[in-house]
Chains A and B, each alone.
Chain A
Amino acid sequence: MAKIVPKKTAMREQPAMERTKNFNEVPYGYSEQEAIQEAKRCLQCKRPTCMQGCPVEIDIPGFIDLIAQRDFRGAIKRLKDKNVLPAVCGRVCPQEDQCEKLCVLAKKYEPVGIGRLERFAADWEATQGEAPVPKKPKPTGKKVAIIGAGPGGLTVAGDLIKLGHAVTIFEALHAPGGVLVYGIPEFRLPKVIVYREVDYLRRCGVNVVFDFVVGKTATIDQILHEYDAVYIGTGAGLPWFMNIPGENLNGVYSANEYLTRSNLMKAYLFPEYDTPIVRGKRVAVIGGGNVAMDCARTALRLGADAVHNVYRRSRKEMPAREEEIHHAEEEGVIFDILTLPVRYMGDEHNWVKEMECIKMQLGEPDASGRRRPVPIEDSNFITPIDTVVCAIGQSPNPLIPQTTPDLKTGKWGNIEINPETGKTSKKGCWAGGDVVRGGATVILAMGDGRVAARSMDDYLKTGVW
């Protein structure tokens, strides 16, 4: 057996001081040499535990071995058997909780850099010109409508087009990708990557209709008149606020607004692009997840002098990926942990100018198993700020449930499904991703898409619900 190399091959990245001045991607990715070196760390386990951590069941040792043998084309092909968005997942999957967590090496050493290798293979392919489109399968004559061009919807589209069904995606916005495009910033996931993958699906024959708001432009029932099956992958786009005084002051954003302006509408390039964004000098970002890290790092790049991340629990409980917190720290985000905003105060023009917070301490564990934050009496303090971004979570948008009475939803407006099949309570309708789970992850949305696609194909072939 090969000698174990305890540490991951390092990935070069833009230095922190430089990168806060631009929106370019932070890590550079592996060179061919580095990729091969990292691939050789894999022990090619007979029973690869890593695969159990991947929601789309990628043949991990398989594609890694091909990289080790310098067969990059083979590697990307192997990846694409299971994952239509490898360049995306290689970048944004929380690998440390999924595939890499279960890598045997992780018990004693650093796991194999599965995500980095996945990214490498996908990026390599992008340098090879347009990816070839597989031969068109025999048309089945069945028509499928997919609502939402997020990672979940794109996965379903990729799977069903390969099986010969006619696929149309209806997307509310003017660009595909869902959160990958409107939410996750350019410096973490360059948009060309998403557009390239969508372009590939279009060349395979997927029809993408933009500016089509299902529930308004047409209802699910109207769509079902024309299509044999529908997949709802509309995500969790309804932003939450805290309902504290001053939240409607000017300068108080939801994370969705802040990120959509900057990413989808390219407000960071204002005035070349028409959509503006407030370039605050003292910014407070509320919340401790990936979304909050993205907002804080965006604020720095928009020229803030000080960005405070305000989080009510301790650093240990932060749901953001370790890598993101680390990047944010390096870039100079100030972490105000165990702190909760209680109100915002404005000036005479209704602009936010101060925030009052209260200090917290950790009490007994709550339902989520994390220790519940409790306010410390009389610990209130006031900080001057000019911009607030509220990144405390989101839930599914009610437009579709409101206009589809026979679609069963849960407490948070999430669509209820049978997890084995992705079937909703409504005949001919499947759902998955964030609209079912609330805010989850890219790869879980894609996994849901895969499950639903299988069940949809069955239904389209047999007609049995």
Chain B
Amino acid sequence: MYKVLKREQIVPNIHLLAIESSSVHQNARAGEFVVVRADERGERIPLNLVDWNKDSVSMVFMEVGTSTSKLASLKPGDEIATLAGPLGKPTEEVQGKKIACIGGCYGIGALLPVIRMFKEKGNHVTTIIEARSEFLLYWQDKLREYSDEFQEITRDGTKGHKGHINDVLVDYIKKNNVDMVYVQGCTYLTYLCSEITRPSGIKTIVGLNPIMVDATGMCGVCRVIVAGETKFGCVDGPEFDGHQVDWDNLIARRKIYINEEISSLSFYECERYG
């Protein structure tokens, strides 16, 4: 069992979770993730590492289904059943490049260790975060600390640029000599950014989120097709070249359990709230 040190809602539906751990930090690198299981009956789910030290690790998660609802109800002092990591391949380290880093929903939090690493390696980092509205944007100060440029996008225009990632990214790559684009967030965002940069051929690294179970390469549920080849997201990824990903397959595979997920959540809510 692993002790919860902190669990707080950062913005509606998005939470920070800090768990006691003395082993995960040792080899942790930017871009890696952990697997958590809320309780003995819980599912194993992957969450990106946002921060780590010798006593704890933290993650940012979005409440969507049963597992994340269970995590969202945790209080300091509670315990979770599983914490395993770090897992996956770390973000490839590059130097002296101009990189645009894009984050949405939980990916805003997941960007933090990656831009920190990019910055430390002497890259020029432009961070772009997006949300529906200003009240859903978070961690601007933390992200600014490692960014040379910083932009916000809201769909309703309450903060920063009004509109979509489309307009901003298209414009940005046109005006700047960008070497690389890096994206963290939901499948839609990673897909969209990859399509935006495809015509220009700018290398675009995306953090994917296929369904996982063990996350050690044992089950194969996380397979994604990259450049025509089947890869295991948990050990070969989770970051891949967005121009090589078979998005139709990924999007379809994310929905394998959609009916079960809905019934699981209603079952959980019934049990919890009666």
Tell me if A212 and B84 are in contact (CB < 8 A).
yes
Interface status of A334 (Cβ within 8 A of chain B): no
Q: Do the beta carbons of A257 and B85 come within 8 Å of each other? A: no
A217 within 8 A of B: yes
**Are the CB atoms of A172 and B214 closer together than 8 Å?**
yes
Chain A positions within 8 Å of B24 at CB level: 217
B225 at the interface (CB under 8 A from A): yes
Rounded to whole Å, the gap between the CB of A393 and the closest CB of chain B is 13
- Contact at A213–B43, with CB atoms within 8 Å? no
B41 within 8 A of A: yes
Give every chain A residue within 8 A of B263 (Cβ-Cβ).
271
Q: Mark B248-274, 1 if CB is under 8 A from A, else 0.
A: 110011011100110110011000000
The residue in chain B whose Cβ has the minimal distance to the Cβ of A236 is B218
Contact in complex: B253, A173 (CB < 8 Å): no
Q: Is B23 among interface residues, defined by CB-CB distance under 8 A?
A: yes
Do A350 and B219 touch (CB < 8 A)? no
**Chain B nearest CB: distance from A362 CB in Å?**
30
Q: Does A375 contact B (CB under 8 A)?
A: no
Instruction: Decide yes or no whether A118 CB sits under 8 A from chain B.
Output: no
A257 near B67: Cβ-Cβ < 8 Å: no
Q: How far is the CB of A372 from chain B (nearest CB, A)?
A: 26
B-contacting 9-mer, from A7-15, A248-256, A283-291: A248-256
Asked if A275 meets B267 with Cβ closer than 8 Å, knowing A216-B86, A254-B220, A265-B44, the reply is no
- Across-interface contacts of A397 in B (CB, < 8 A): 216-218
Interface 0/1 of A243-275, CB less than 8 Å to B: 100011011011011001100011000111111
**A274 near B220 (CB under 8 angstroms)?**
no
A399 touches B225 (CB 8 A): no
A217–B86 alpha-carbon span in the complex (Å): 6
Q: How many chain A residues touch B (Cβ–Cβ < 8 Å)?
A: 42
With A174-B81, A265-B44, A274-B67 in contact, is A260–B214 under 8 Å at CB?
yes
Tell me, in angstroms, the Cα distance from A239 to B249 when the chains sit together: 20
Complex contacts, B248 vs chain A, CB 8 Å: 350
In whole angstroms, how far apart are the Cα atoms of A337 and B245 in the complex? 37
Is B168 engaged at the interface, CB distance under 8 Å to the other chain? no
A265-B44, A275-B213 are known contacts. Are A248 and B84 too (CB-CB below 8 A)? no
A241 touches B230 (CB 8 A): yes
In contact, A216 and B87 (Cβ under 8 angstroms): yes
In this assembly, does B176 line the interface, its C-beta being within 8 Å of a C-beta of chain A? no
A260 adjacent to B219 (CB under 8 Å): yes
Is B213 a contact partner of A276 (Cβ separation < 8 A)? no
A250: contacting residue among B87, B225, B253, CB under 8 A: B253
- Taken together as a complex, chains A and B put the C-alpha atoms of A71 and B44 apart, in Å, by 45
Contact A276 B220 (CB under 8 A): no
CB-based nearest A residue for B81: A174
**Would you call A278 and B84 a contact (CB within 8 A)?**
no
A349 beta carbon closer than 8 Å to chain B: yes
Contact of A216 with B27 in the complex, beta carbons under 8 Å: yes
Query: In the assembled complex, how far is the CB of residue A174 from the closest CB belonging to chain B, in whole angstroms?
Result: 5
Which residues of A sit under 8 angstroms from B27, Cβ to Cβ?
A: 216-219, 222
Residue on A nearest B224 in the bound complex, by CB:
A248
In the A-B complex, list the 9 residue pairs whose CB atoms are closest, starting with the nearest.
A350-B252, A276-B260, A211-B84, A257-B219, A271-B267, A237-B218, A254-B220, A274-B43, A174-B82
Residues of B within 8 A of A (CB): 23-24, 26-27, 35, 37, 41-44, 66-67, 81-87, 213-214, 216-221, 223, 225, 230, 235, 248-249, 252-253, 255-257, 260-261, 263-264, 267-268
20 A-B pairs in the complex with CB atoms less than 8 angstroms apart: A172-B214, A173-B214, A213-B84, A213-B87, A217-B27, A218-B23, A239-B218, A243-B230, A248-B253, A250-B253, A250-B256, A253-B220, A254-B220, A260-B218, A272-B267, A276-B257, A350-B248, A399-B216, A399-B217, A399-B235
Other than the given A210-B84, A256-B219, A276-B264, 15 more pairs (CB < 8 A) read A174-B37, A218-B23, A237-B216, A241-B220, A250-B253, A254-B220, A257-B219, A257-B221, A260-B214, A271-B267, A271-B268, A274-B42, A275-B44, A276-B261, A399-B235
